[in-house]
Every structure is written in C-alpha cells, then in structure tokens.
C-alpha cells in the first residue's frame, strides 16, 4: 500500500537545495573540504579520532592551566590492538583538538595500559615545586612476558610526572608503586584528591570487583577496602573505574557515583558501563542500590571516565575555560565485540562527544544524566525551528544535503514515534519508541556496511519507563560513522557506530500510534568540522 506523504525540504544558507534523490555518482562519505586531511570514508568530522592507527580507552583526563589533556590507549604501528602506549591530545574548549606526540611508551615493566592523571597541587610527590606542581600520571603496567608465561601477577601500577604541562614525561624510578599478589585483571587506576581526609584515593579494579587504596604522596599506597563482589553486573571483567561526588540537582545533598565498565556483559551485548550511586566515607564505598544501572544503553560507549576536578577556585579567575566543578565524561565509541573489525583503513576508533554528568532524583531513585557539554554549541549553526504534525499513516519525509553531519532536536509528548534515515543506496537507519513495550531502539541492521562482523547488525533496545508523561526533548547527533541519541536532556542515552555506504539524505518521520504526534521546535542543524 502506498501511504500518503508530506515532503519538506529544509533550506539553509550553508547548503544547496535539492528536492529529490540525486542520480549523479554517489558522493564520498567524507565531508567536502579543500584539503584531504580527515576526509577518509567514515572519518568523524567533530568527534576526536587519532590521525592514524589504533585507539581505545580515554586515559589521564586532566585540566591544568587552561589546557584540557586527553590521553588514550594507542598502538602506533597498526589499526588493530597491539602494545599499548599513551597517545596525547590537548584542547582549550573540549571541542577542537590538537594532536601531541606520544606521551608514554612501554618499558621493562610492561605495556602502558589505562589510568588517570592528577595535578599534584601541593607537590605531595616531591616531583615538582609548589610554584610548579607536577602533573602525575598513574597507569597500569602490563608485562606481556608474564602473561605469556601463564603468570597471574603481570599487571602492576606505575606513575610518571611532567613539569611542562604534559609535553614531556619522566617515569618514577621506584616503579611499580603497587605490586600484584596474583590477580589476573588488576588495572585501570583512577586517582583523585579526597579533600575531606586530605589524601589521594585510587579506585582500581581487581577481576570483577573494585579495590580502594590511599596515599599521601602518590608513591606509597595502602589498601583500604573492596566493593562489588555482590553488587552490579558480573557478566565479564570490570574495567576503568571512576569514583566522584556529585550534588543532587536542585538540592544541597551530595552523593558519590561509581562508574564501572564491563566486558562482556552489557545489556545490548559486548562492552558497556554501569554505575552505582552511594556514599564514600574516606575508606569504603557503600550503596543501597539493588538494580543495575547503565550510563548508556547503546553498543558503542565504553571505558568512559571523567576529568579530575581540582579544589574549588584553585585557578581563581585566571582561565576563562576553567571547568570549575563540572564533571565531564568522554567514552571510547566502540565495542570489543567488533572493535578490531570496523571498516576504516587509516585509523580505527573515535571518542564520544564530551558529556556533562548530572545526578537527579526521580521519586525515590537516583538517575545519572549525561548530555553534551555547553561548548558543543560552538559547532552548531542554528538556522530556525518549525513545528511538524504527523498523522497515523501519513509519514513526513525531509530531504537534506547530508544528515551525517547534523544535530536534530525537537520536543515531543508522544511515546510512539519512528525516524528513519535513508539514502539512494537503500541504506536505512531507524530509531524510535514503541509504547507497547516502553522501549527505545536503534535499528542499524540495514544502516550500510554491517557485514564485517556477525554481531554488528543489531537492534539495541533501551527501556524508557520513566520518561516524563508530559513533553520531553529528543536530541540526535550524527557524524559520518556514529549516532548519539539523548532523551529528556540525557536521562536516557544511546550511542552507536554506523557505516552508511553514502551519506543519509532523507529522513522519514512516522506515527505508528493512533492520535496525531506533534514535534515542536523541530531543528536540523549543520555541525561544523573541527579539523583544519
């Protein structure tokens, strides 16, 4: 049956109008620019990705003297996982990035696995001075020879320091600072300053649970406690912990949030990140939480950690870009199920858009929201809004030059809607809510290239039982090889990779329910590329 349709053509100052599918040769998936830098097929235009070779977990996320540092797991010899280094990039706004030389290389103690970095503002380590406090990186050593020999003590913890704001690094001659008594998966230290007890605290995973340690000088560490043997999801190894305080929105109440990545065992397969809300007394983390909570229900947001927060007003008014007490997260936009197989050639993997975390109380329960940081607006050309009404059986079709570099946003009160992005090759990327089962889903089974790995053509689902009964916001951010969806300002989030054979150029809005649905303040906005 041919359904009646309404056709809308969005006209903006920056794009060329066309009203039907172009019969000319297919465009490249990359954006059209004057240079070929960062224009390979599927190359993200506004997400961070390495210039070349393999990248995974974000590491060492720290702000110091006007500079945001992003370190990351990096293998400089190939586009598949190999001996790990720490790659390095910097930014002044968390939007545009500058690549820096490799920061940390493997040594006799092993490969350089994931970890964190802090500003040692009181020079407790003695590596710097009070006038020039050091950056200190805390990371896991992974000794391949030990693993290959069948030992279980091949992961230990090391530190390094920088006195020039991250440009060069010196490893501590007393490494490793924490040895291993025989725990196979003993890694990913996240260190923060406990301002109440005036000590450094380390969150460290050990198999499928958490250990907490403390230190006065970042060199000598004492084990405090364990958490998680009987809490949370345990379908795989725990990784990349992060423990931090957050104020409950609209109150003076403070809770502690623990992030734990797990692989496998995520709700839609492979790797994902769970969280716990509770309390930390300087020694133990405790929670009354009985259910499993997920930061992001999509397939491709893993190993996310946050920027370390410095003491309040530490820099005074010296830096306009000071994040203050905001808790900002970046995740690795991939999944270990197929990370080594995705169809890129020069590089592999990207990071999520930086997201601000906020803690809200909904009834008697706590929910961790995550939503694009305010500075993401620097990339968006907002060109106006309009209201769209869609009746059942009368889909609305919107045509646009390139949906793969856009932000789409609207307000809706319906729990029944479906959006489908398409192109002239027949690729289709679907998403929407089914009110009968109270779930939101992303259907990438026909979204483009899906044949490179058997599990990629999935339809991840997310329960949305607690969406407001009234209006809520839907925000969709599409890059050349990813989609991020934020419902109700980040209450529910899904992130997924996509590999369309050409850019999506049409969007169909459908109403599978009974009464009309109204999409208020509907916007399609071009997102600027960040690479020059």
- Residues that are catalytic: 57
Strand partners, 85: 74
Q: Which H, E and C letters describe 447-500, residue by residue? A: CCCCCCCCCCCCCCEEECCCCCCCCEEEEEEEECCEEEEEECCCCEEEEEECCC
- Calculate the CA dihedral of residues 139, 141, 142, 145 and round it to 10 degrees: 170
Number of C-beta neighbours around residue 339 at 10 A: 23
Nearest CA to 430 among 515, 486, 490, 504?
504
Q: Which string of DSSP letters, residue by residue, matches 123-167?
A: -TTSSS-SSSPPEEEEEEEE-HHHHHTT-S--EEEEEEEESSTTS
Which two three-digit tokens encode residue 15? 């794009």
Find tokens 């998966």 and name the residue: 185
Q: What own/partner pairs with CB < 8 Å and gap ≥ 24 does 263-266 have?
A: 263/236, 263/237, 263/239, 263/302, 263/336, 264/235, 264/236, 264/336, 264/337, 265/233, 265/234, 265/235, 265/236, 266/233, 266/235, 266/294, 266/299, 266/335
d(C-alpha 48, C-alpha 39), whole Å: 14
d(C-alpha 419, C-alpha 248), whole Å: 33
d(C-alpha 273, C-alpha 261), whole Å: 4
């Amino acid at each position: 049956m041919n359904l009646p349709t309404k056709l809308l053509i969005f006209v903006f100052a920056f794009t060329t109008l066309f009203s039907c599918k172009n019969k000319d040769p297919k465009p490249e998936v990359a954006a059209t620019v004057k240079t070929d830098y960062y224009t390979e097929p599927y190359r993200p235009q506004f997400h961070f990705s390495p210039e070349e070779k393999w990248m995974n977990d974000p590491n060492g996320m720290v702000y110091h003297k006007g500079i945001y540092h992003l370190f990351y797991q990096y293998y400089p010899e190939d586009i598949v996982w190999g001996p790990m280094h720490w790659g390095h990039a910097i930014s002044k706004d968390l939007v545009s990035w500058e690549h820096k030389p490799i920061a940390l290389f493997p040594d006799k103690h092993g490969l350089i696995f994931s970890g964190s970095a802090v500003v040692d503002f009181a020079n407790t380590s003695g590596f710097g001075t009070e006038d020039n406090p050091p950056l200190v990186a805390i990371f896991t050593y992974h000794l391949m020879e030990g693993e290959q020999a069948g030992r279980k003590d091949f992961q230990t913890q090391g530190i390094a320091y920088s006195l020039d704001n991250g440009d060069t690094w010196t490893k501590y001659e007393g490494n490793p600072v924490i040895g291993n008594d025989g725990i196979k998966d003993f890694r990913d230290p996240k260190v923060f300053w406990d301002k109440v007890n005036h000590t450094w605290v380390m969150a460290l995973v050990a198999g499928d649970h958490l250990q907490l340690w403390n230190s006065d000088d970042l060199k000598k560490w004492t084990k405090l406690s364990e958490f998680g043997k009987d809490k949370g999801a345990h379908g795989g190894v725990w990784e990349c912990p992060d423990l931090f305080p957050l104020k409950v929105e609209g109150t003076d109440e403070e809770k502690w949030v623990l992030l734990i990545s797990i692989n496998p065992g995520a709700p839609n397969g492979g790797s994902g990140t769970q969280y716990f809300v509770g309390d930390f007394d300087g020694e133990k983390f405790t929670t009354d939480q009985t259910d499993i909570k997920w930061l992001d229900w999509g397939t491709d947001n893993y190993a996310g950690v946050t920027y370390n927060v410095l003491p309040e007003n530490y820099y005074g008014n010296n830096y306009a870009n000071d994040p203050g007490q905001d808790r900002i997260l970046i995740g690795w936009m991939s999944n270990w199920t197929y990370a080594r197989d995705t169809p890129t050639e020069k590089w592999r993997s990207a990071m999520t858009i930086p997201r601000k975390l906020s803690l809200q109380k909904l009834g008697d329960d706590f929910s961790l929201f995550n939503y694009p940081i305010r500075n993401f607006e620097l990339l968006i050309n907002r060109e106006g809004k309009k209201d769209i009404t869609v009746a059942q059986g009368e889909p609305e079709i919107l045509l646009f030059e390139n949906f793969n570099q856009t932000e789409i946003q609207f307000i809706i009160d319906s729990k029944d809607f479906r959006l489908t992005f398409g192109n002239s090759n027949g690729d289709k990327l679907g998403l929407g809510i089914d009110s009968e089962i109270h779930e939101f889903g992303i259907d990438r089974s026909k979204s483009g290239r899906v044949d490179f790995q058997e599990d990629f053509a999935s339809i991840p689902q997310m329960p949305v039982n607690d969406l407001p009964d009234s209006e809520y916001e839907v925000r969709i951010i599409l890059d050349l090889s990813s989609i991020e969806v934020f419902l109700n300002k980040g209450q529910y989030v899904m992130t997924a990779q996509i590999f369309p054979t050409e850019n999506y150029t049409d969007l169909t809005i459908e109403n599978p329910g009974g009464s009309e649905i109204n999409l208020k303040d509907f916007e399609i906005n071009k997102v600027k590329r960040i690479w020059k």
